[in-house]
Homo-oligomer: A and B are copies of this chain.
Amino acid sequence: MARQVTGAARRVAEAAEVLRDEKFNARRIELAEAALETLGELGFARTSLREIAQNSAFTHGVFHYYFSDKLDLICCCVRHYKAKCVTRYDEVVATATSRDELTEGFLAKLAATLQNEARMHRLWYDLRAQAMFEAAFRKDVLEIDKSLEAMIWRIASRYAELGGKRPVSSPAALYALFDGLFQSALLRHLADDKTAIPELLDEVRRLLPTVC
């Protein structure tokens, strides 16, 4: 009986700990989300913990309570950002019943995210560049890159399927192409080049049938 009691007690204790962990993690994500605001505004190089805190409802001490250091915080930000990103086109891929429908749905989302979430995208390119200097970022960045590649591949595969074909290039090459075009369009868009988005759409519209 003693064993049962201690067993139950341990289960209760473990449940409590799991709860605490979940709460802890939820808070971390709240903080990461707040940090992403400032990071997207200023970029990695110019963002300090104090600046993050001032642009949020938190004090700078909280960030140190929930994160071991600055890199820990930013890694958490990157990981959180990932989850949002890679599903952007999934609905379009799932519901499109023709090549045209898929094309237009994809392009609409592409234009919208370039327009409305430019700050998050530039942060991603910033952090990917940081990963080339800071080894601590590399694992997460490479992982996100892989899942973005998979995201593009799902679109291309579906597009090819709808035309009874198969993509003509590797997932890596296809991702490189779209990522390169997107990155260039983003920079031009941020430099107030009004033609950046339409020209990206034209380019992708022309490219899609030739690669799939």
Contacts of A199 in B (CB 8 A): 172
User: CB distance B180 to A132 under 8 Å?
Assistant: no
Q: Is A65 located at the chain interface by the 8 A CB criterion?
A: no
Contacts of A133 in B (CB 8 A): 42-43, 45-46, 122, 126
> What is the total number of copies of this protein in its complex?
2
User: CB distance B170 to A203 under 8 Å?
Assistant: yes
Q: Which one of B132, B191, B203, B210 contacts A142 once the chains associate, using CB atoms below 8 Å?
A: B191
Bound: A186/B141 CA distance, A: 13
Bound: A210/B168 CA distance, A: 9
Interface residues of A in 129-151 (CB under 8 A from B): 129-135, 138, 141-142, 145
User: CB distance A186 to B125 under 8 Å?
Assistant: no
Bound: A46/B46 CA distance, A: 10
Q: Which one of B132, B141, B169, B181 contacts A176 once the chains associate, using CB atoms below 8 Å?
A: B181
Q: Is A179 located at the chain interface by the 8 A CB criterion?
A: yes
User: CB distance B126 to A130 under 8 Å?
Assistant: yes
Q: Is A8 located at the chain interface by the 8 A CB criterion?
A: no
Given the known A-B contacts A132-B122, A169-B207, A210-B169, are A145 and B45 also in contact in the complex, defined by CB atoms under 8 Å? no
Q: Is A184 located at the chain interface by the 8 A CB criterion?
A: yes
Contacts of A126 in B (CB 8 A): 129-130, 132-133
A181 to chain B minimum Cβ distance, whole angstroms, is 4
Contacts of A159 in B (CB 8 A): none
Residue of B nearest to A124 (CB): B129
A121 to chain B minimum Cβ distance, whole angstroms, is 8
Residues in chain A within 8 A of chain B (CB atoms): 42-46, 122, 125-126, 128-135, 138, 141-142, 145, 168-170, 172-173, 175-181, 183-184, 186-188, 190-191, 199, 203, 206-207, 210
